Structure 1
Amino acid sequence: MVKEVISSKDNKQVKNYRKLNTRQGRKKSGLYLVEGVHLVEEALKSQIDIEIIIVTDGFKHGLYLSNQRTMFVTDEVMKSLSTLDTPPGIVAVLKESKATGLSYKRVLLLEDVQDPGNLGTLIRTADAFGFKTIILTPKAADPFNPKVLRAAQGSHFHLNIITREVSEAAMAFKGIKIGTALDNAVYIDSFQQPDDDIMLVLGNEGNGLSSEALELMDINAKIDMTGDSESLNVAIAGAILMHHFKS
């Protein structure tokens, strides 16, 4: 059988998959796209539902794809699909999974975190320290943004990531809610590890947690800093806090 290689960027399937590089396209289709051997390999290892894998004709990747729907394309078509300056040679189109079996032992609630790099780093760190459910407010960055996916390095496939308003998420949580603030807060070093389930709540890069969110917290925490900086990047602060309260 002759292998078909798609050479036109105007191919209908190619055009539809290219729309996944926009938030609107992802929301409308329920699909998203990951790029590169590592992320495709992580998707193959997980239980994620794979729509199709797209490979540049002749690209050597070492992955077992015989039981996957596969499309071969030219370099030019791959360039049109990729968000990278140097296209990776392989991408996968994945279906957004619905949250099931939510774990509430350790929950990370992110209020309006905007930077994709920060969000991806927080997702990866949550995966590392056992925060298995991540709740994003509607105004937060899109968790399936290509920059978020690259920063998270496949951790999306191990976690439940859902969207809720901060009040809805906090009021429904039955454990201890720990906010983050510089004022009226206690240093994390003074915390005993709680026996309760924990929701750790981080705020927007510029504004921190809203007054509404702070009022819903059981306690607010801060990190002791011995240098001259007044604050930490939200992803760095989140990493320190998640390590301290890890499951």
Structure 2
Amino acid sequence: MVEKEIITSKDNRRIKDLRKLQTKKYRSRLNRFLIEGEHLVEEAVTHGQMVHTVILLEDYDHSSLDLKNIDLMFVSRDVMKSLSLLETPPGIMAVVTYNAPESTGNRVLLLDYVQDPGNLGTLIRTADAFGFSRVILSPDTVDVFSDKVLRSAQGSTFHIDIEIKEPTLAVGEFKGVVLGTALDNAQPLSDVETSDGPLMLVLGNEGRGISDVVLSKVDTRVKIEMSGQSESLNVGIAGGILMHHFKA
């Protein structure tokens, strides 16, 4: 039996290259990103993502995972800690290239300049829950493959057809009804009829909302009625209410 090789140096060339994936610049350049934790690794493997390498703590028990034909890299605790962005590394990571699953495009979520990673991850996870199988992100939206977004999405990233596109172009190309959230000149959500036909829901930035140029192209402006004293809702919460209302 061949003894497995364990990388113990943080200065190892492969480890240095992997650490580069902690930055958006290198994620974009290499078309690869890091995921952490057994759940995300299992989701990536199960849902047809291109898993290049699984990085394992030297004594990690991975017997419950189907990792055949995948390159395995065993590392020491210090090396794992240098790769992880978590306070307590989970002991398993992977290098992945995103492979978009097929989607009907009947329910589409378009996000215009969403900046908080937690909000984006939550919106992707909620889209997955309510049948919005395609998510389009404006180019200035926070990086969908950053660590915080991936952890917030809890694996739903791999269930959703995610595309980066200029929002005005996405709205113009969409063959269906386009709804955009707004506070002014908007219909209450309860007055907007649901439909089985193609529908795109547009949500905007946490502070400014949807940009004027994008909002001018939607078919209907919609707002969520609130009986309390709050002036607005977090975009993740608002998105959850709206996607549940228009769920596939």
TM class by smaller structure = over 0.9
Q: Aligned-residue CA RMSD in angstroms?
A: 1.1
TM-score by length of 2: 0.96
- In the superposition, relative to structure 1, how do residues 39 and 2 fare at CA in structure 2: closer, same or farther (>3 Å)? same
**2: distance between equivalents of 1:237 and 1:56?**
40
2:90 match: 88
Query: What letter is aligned with 1:93?
Result: V
Q: List per-residue Cα deviations over 1:150-185 (Å, max 9, x = no partner).
A: 000000111111111111100000100000001100
User: 1:102, CA displacement in angstroms?
Assistant: 4.5
Among 62, 65, 69, the alignment partner of 1:63 is 65
Query: Number of paired residues?
Result: 246
**Structure 1: 5+ residue runs without aligned partners?**
none
**Structure 2: 5+ residue runs without aligned partners?**
none
Does 2:153 align with 1:170?
no
TM-score by length of 1: 0.97
**2: distance between equivalents of 1:198 and 1:109?**
11
Task: Give secondary structure in 1 for the equivalent of 2:69.
Answer: coil
1:226 match: 227
**2: distance between equivalents of 1:75 and 1:101?**
38
2:36 match: 35
- In the superposition, relative to structure 1, how do residues 96 and 195 fare at CA in structure 2: closer, same or farther (>3 Å)? closer
**2: distance between equivalents of 1:94 and 1:195?**
35
Query: What letter is aligned with 1:31?
Result: R
Query: What letter is aligned with 1:67?
Result: N
Query: What letter is aligned with 1:29?
Result: L
User: 1:101, CA displacement in angstroms?
Assistant: 3.9
% same residue: 53
Q: How does 1:39-58 map to 2 (within 5 A)?
A: 39-58=40-59
2:181 match: 180
Does the Cα contact within 8 Å between 2:101 and 2:158 map onto a contact in 1?
no
Does the Cα contact within 8 Å between 2:101 and 2:159 map onto a contact in 1?
no
**1: distance between equivalents of 2:204 and 2:47?**
30
User: 1:33, CA displacement in angstroms?
Assistant: 0.6
Q: List per-residue Cα deviations over 1:116-139 (Å, max 9, x = no partner).
A: 000000000000011111000010
1:76 match: 78
Query: What letter is aligned with 2:199?
Result: I
- In the superposition, relative to structure 1, how do residues 150 and 100 fare at CA in structure 2: closer, same or farther (>3 Å)? closer
